[in-house]
Structure 1
Amino acid sequence: MGSGVLAKNSDDSAISQRRQLGAAMRSFRKEADIDRDAAAELIEVTGPTLTRKESGQFKFKRQEVETLAAAYGVEHEELAMLIELAREARASTKRGEFPMFVPVKSRAYLELERNDAVEIMVVTLTLIPPFFQTEAYMRELWLRNGELLSAARIEELVKLRQARQQVVTKRDAPLIRAVIHEFALRLPVGGPAVMREQLLALAAACELPNVEIQVQPISSGAFPSMDSTFSLLRFPVGVSGDVVQVYGHAESFYRDRQSATEPYRVAWDRRRVAALDLQASKSLILDAAASFGPEVAP
């Protein structure tokens, strides 16, 4: 590999880290309900300069990160992660959408997903993708996840996910493409009534102009990248700027270097080819909904 390629990879990584840091800082600022110009004054820059920093065009200095984090009420552990992002990058979301318990990396990813991505690709095995989950379905997931979450925390998580779902129908919404395994359609999360409502909502989402949903049928047996569950964001710059969120048991992890995101692009292409086409997928979703019994009149 030539030195020019190495230099380009390094530059791409630095740009990606700046973008993630900026997105996280922007999210914390909005959570603290501090307007752009007031925040800019704290670090003695103009409002437009802060906008460029939050968009990843300009770098944040460590002192700027620390000053703003203090004003935003960022906790020490999250501040350490922000500083690490700033070190690695050395070379209109509503207030309250991302509560303070959301980790820095997740916060940055959600901000990029909502404001910057032009395409979102999602692969799931056992769950309906978060963009299309009904309230009853998501509540059941958190109620039964073994963490004994309080009612208040579940309520916060529901509001966060519902806010995240706004990306599906916002103006200039990104293209959202999902490959779901049929197992997610058959697993009776919350019981028949909850699943029927969920699957009918998923079938309705298939009709949106910016949504493409494919199903990997159980009858096909083995399929490519069987153990992969991830979400991939694409930006106007193309594949060089891709960011991947890989779903884990305890927490997600993230990939942004082009060499690290390439395996997920390959996995996406293979899963998409192996799955049913759009029409057959919707038919299978409706068949699964019918298997949970007839719709009950209110």
Structure 2
Amino acid sequence: MQHGPAVRRRKLGAELRALRTLAGLTSGQAARLVGWHQSKVSRIETGRSGVKPADVRLLLDAYDVRDPELHELLVLLAGSDDDGRQGWWHAYRRLLPSTYSDFISLESQAGVMRTLENSVVPGLLQTREYARAVTRAAVGAAPDGGTDALVEELVKVRLARQDVLRSNKPLRLSAVLDEAVLRRTVGGPEVMARQLERLREAAHLPHVRLQVLPFGAGAHIGVTGSFVIFSFPNRSDLDVVVLDHLTSSLYLEQKEALRSYEEAFDSLQGQALSPEDTLDFIAGAADGA
């Protein structure tokens, strides 16, 4: 059984290999220190094999890694322990697709999230009613349909995700929203009015930067699709881009791809309204202007 998506396995393996090298150990020496066969260390470092969090802790101790934040990040990348230590989303494991669980785990540990959204308000900024309307539409589009109970459970997950903006070290969120996000009436006029007010409230948070890309900007590099860039504290080599599709998510980890999306996001921020003008624009949208 493999723990975590392929992108996380490769990133975790590369980081463990770098830490082993920094400790001055060969893979054989590392294996002997933790009582494994050398092939297991090699499979982990190349991402060909999953690794449990308990095993990551063994390796980090063997490499004398004492940075608690690095410990926490690499253990999280490994996935769930068999001894019950999991992220809060593990309680919903039967409900959530593995790609969604992976997304939440990355979101919960990232230091910065940059996102372009062309269609709907980002999940971290949605009201309960707006989230319910979006989720009902998404579940209804699924081949096997959905029930009200399922929708409500998924809404709970979406709202729980928002805790990353309220923690002691909150996620720093930069979001560029196409004007269509504000103009699309999701859930009806009253639901949309409350959602626009929520956006204005969020825009005043010191760790949230919100910008609107108006229709007047014309065609832009983001028209091909929404995306998210996750960045981690002091570990740029763990950054990842996530592209969502109807039935799956694509994780991009290559440096060239990351650079392209980072440059695209910078370009979009340059074309978008300033955060101050964005507040006025949202107010105008709420008034029907």
Using the size of structure 1 for normalisation, the TM-score is 0.69
2:100 to 87, 102, 106: 106
Cα–Cα, structure 1 residues 12 and 288, in superposed 2: closer, same or farther, change >3 Å?
A: same
8 Å Cα contact 1:22/1:54 also seen in 2:
no
2:180 to 172, 178, 183: 183
8 Å Cα contact 2:212/2:272 also seen in 1:
yes
Distance in 1 between residues matched to 2:52 and 2:258, nearest whole Å: 24
| Number of the residue aligned with 1:281 | 278
Cα–Cα, structure 1 residues 168 and 54, in superposed 2: closer, same or farther, change >3 Å?
A: closer
RMSD: 3.8
How far does residue 104 in structure 1 lie from its aligned partner after superposition? Answer: 3.2
Distance in 2 between residues matched to 1:164 and 1:24, nearest whole Å: 25
How far does residue 168 in structure 1 lie from its aligned partner after superposition? Answer: 1.0
Q: Does 1:231 align with 2:225?
A: no
8 Å Cα contact 1:21/1:56 also seen in 2:
no
Cα–Cα, structure 1 residues 176 and 59, in superposed 2: closer, same or farther, change >3 Å?
A: closer
How far does residue 12 in structure 1 lie from its aligned partner after superposition? Answer: 5.5
Distance in 1 between residues matched to 2:127 and 2:48, nearest whole Å: 31
8 Å Cα contact 1:117/1:233 also seen in 2:
yes
| Number of the residue aligned with 1:192 | 189
Cα–Cα, structure 1 residues 59 and 198, in superposed 2: closer, same or farther, change >3 Å?
A: closer
Distance in 2 between residues matched to 1:262 and 1:149, nearest whole Å: 39
Alignment deviations for residues 189-216 of structure 1 (CA, whole Å, 9 cap, x no partner): 1111010000000111000010000000
Cα–Cα, structure 1 residues 53 and 200, in superposed 2: closer, same or farther, change >3 Å?
A: closer
8 Å Cα contact 2:116/2:222 also seen in 1:
no
8 Å Cα contact 1:21/1:108 also seen in 2:
no
Alignment deviations for residues 113-143 of structure 1 (CA, whole Å, 9 cap, x no partner): 11x2111101100111111011111111122
Cα–Cα, structure 1 residues 95 and 138, in superposed 2: closer, same or farther, change >3 Å?
A: closer
Alignment of 1:192-211 (within 5 A): 192-211=189-208
How far does residue 289 in structure 1 lie from its aligned partner after superposition? Answer: 1.3
8 Å Cα contact 2:130/2:191 also seen in 1:
yes
| Number of the residue aligned with 1:144 | 137
Distance in 1 between residues matched to 2:174 and 2:76, nearest whole Å: 31
How far does residue 256 in structure 1 lie from its aligned partner after superposition? Answer: 1.8
8 Å Cα contact 1:167/1:174 also seen in 2:
yes
Q: What is the count of residue pairs matched by the alignment?
A: 240
Amino acid of the structure 1 residue aligned with 2:184:
L
| Number of the residue aligned with 2:165 | 168
Matched residue of 2:287: which SS?
helix
| Number of the residue aligned with 1:267 | 264
Cα–Cα, structure 1 residues 238 and 221, in superposed 2: closer, same or farther, change >3 Å?
A: same
Alignment deviations for residues 81-139 of structure 1 (CA, whole Å, 9 cap, x no partner): xxxxxxxxxxx84365543332334323311211x211110110011111101111111
Cα–Cα, structure 1 residues 215 and 112, in superposed 2: closer, same or farther, change >3 Å?
A: same
Q: Does 1:122 align with 2:115?
A: yes
Cα–Cα, structure 1 residues 217 and 21, in superposed 2: closer, same or farther, change >3 Å?
A: farther
| Number of the residue aligned with 2:34 | none
Cα–Cα, structure 1 residues 103 and 21, in superposed 2: closer, same or farther, change >3 Å?
A: farther
How far does residue 238 in structure 1 lie from its aligned partner after superposition? Answer: 4.7
Using the size of structure 2 for normalisation, the TM-score is 0.71
| Number of the residue aligned with 2:14 | 15
Cα–Cα, structure 1 residues 157 and 203, in superposed 2: closer, same or farther, change >3 Å?
A: same
Amino acid of the structure 1 residue aligned with 2:172:
L
Cα–Cα, structure 1 residues 130 and 22, in superposed 2: closer, same or farther, change >3 Å?
A: farther
Matched residue of 2:204: which SS?
coil
8 Å Cα contact 2:176/2:212 also seen in 1:
yes
* Structure 2 stretches lacking a partner, 5+ long: 1-9, 17-43, 62-67
How far does residue 273 in structure 1 lie from its aligned partner after superposition? Answer: 0.7
Q: Does 1:258 align with 2:255?
A: yes
* Structure 1 stretches lacking a partner, 5+ long: 1-10, 27-39, 73-91, 293-298
